[in-house]
Amino acid sequence: MKKIRSLLFLLLTVALVLSLTACGSSSASADEDADDAVYRTLDEIVESGVINIGVFSDKSPFGYVDENGEYQGYDVYFANRIGEDLGVEVNFVSTEAANRIEYLQTGKVDIILANFTVTEERAEEVDFALPYMNVSLGVVSPDSNVITSLDVWNEEDEIIVISGTTAETYLTENYPNITLQKYDTYANAKNALENGNAVAWANDNTEVIAFALENDGYTVGIPSLGGQDTIAPAVTKGNSTLLDWLNEEIEALGEEQFFHADYEATLADTYGLDYEETLVVEGGIVSTEE
């Protein structure tokens, strides 16, 4: 009987050791997979002759497709210059706010140039280059009921946001009492506001100002909500060769006032020249003047 018990104890011990070993191997493998970022280095991009850049296709005047099926806008103007200076063709990949990080992490794009606001949370998942634009949040609403403050809010009212944007994050954290009506695309958000599905739309102030300027009957009652942020290109986490080249490119473009030229070519028709110095960042240097 003692021999049987000893044999059973030995078998159980061996099984436990094997089980723990297997678990350890599985965990290590999972950790290794998590660290394996999917990206192409600068040399690989140049060798391929094509760079994949994620931009919006429905966010005029920053990234949109015109009546001829061509990509246009502030981000697109910059993307074309990147391709020119790298000596490669630009393949534009239409992206939405919620999948910008995913497209980088899965290698679907090399760079995101889709009005990507820099935040600490996002910087944990992607690498941001130097900024090329200033931005803050804003709120647009119909002239019949202009929203000038979110501090006093009717619980029955809802506000429109785009999923995956800083507006969604900011309102969730700072105004949890406000019900958010979330959409995946800018086109759907605009339609929802026009159809009266909610009392207001919160987004980048550049976007809501453009909407109010282009559509009669709407006012940006809150032109600046929260602090001022910056917009910057993003690359896959760890893609240092492409990140370093982008930073050098932005600094060099600043010497020729490239982003002012970009603004005047793509944004001036919408905003006029009064917003130029407020919005444009040259050479990655953000002004500290208020």
What CA–CA distance (Å, rounded) separates 158 from 189? Answer: 13
- What pLDDT is stored for residue 288 in this prediction? 57
CB contact at 8 A, 72 and 266: yes
Q: What is the mean pLDDT of each run of 10 residues along the chain (290 residues)?
A: 45 42 35 63 98 95 96 98 98 96 97 95 97 95 96 94 94 96 93 96 92 94 91 98 98 98 96 90 79
Q: Are strands 158-162 and 179-183 parallel, antiparallel or unpaired?
A: parallel
- What pLDDT is stored for residue 280 in this prediction? 96
CB contact at 8 A, 54 and 113: yes
Q: Which residues contact 242 (CB under 8 A, 6 or more apart)?
A: 39, 40, 41, 42, 45, 110, 111, 235
Backbone torsions φ then ψ of 185, nearest 5 degrees: -125, 155
Q: Which residues contact 3 (CB under 8 A, 6 or more apart)?
A: none
Render pLDDT for 245-262 as a digit per residue (tens, 0 to 9). Answer: 999 999 999 999 999 999
Residue at token pair 């192409």: 40
- What pLDDT is stored for residue 274 in this prediction? 84
What CA–CA distance (Å, rounded) separates 265 from 273? Answer: 11
- What pLDDT is stored for residue 35 in this prediction? 56
Tokens of 158: 């809802």
Tokens of 95: 């992206």
Q: What is the 3 state secondary structure string of the chain?
A: CHHHHHHHHHHHHHHHHHHHHHHHHHHHHHHHHHHCCCCCCHHHHHHHCEEEEEECCEECCCEEECCCCCEECHHHHHHHHHHHHHCCEEEEEECCHHHHHHHHHCCCCCEECCCCECCHHHHCCEEECCCCEEEEEEEEEEHHHCCCCCCCCCCCCEEEEECCCHHHHHHHHHCCCCEEEEECCHHHHHHHHHCCCCCEEEEEHHHHHHHHHHCCCEEEEEEEEEEEEEECCEEECCCHHHHHHHHHHHHHHHHCCHHHHHHHHHCHHHHCCCCHHHHECECCECCCCC
pTM: 0.79
What CA–CA distance (Å, rounded) separates 95 from 102? Answer: 10
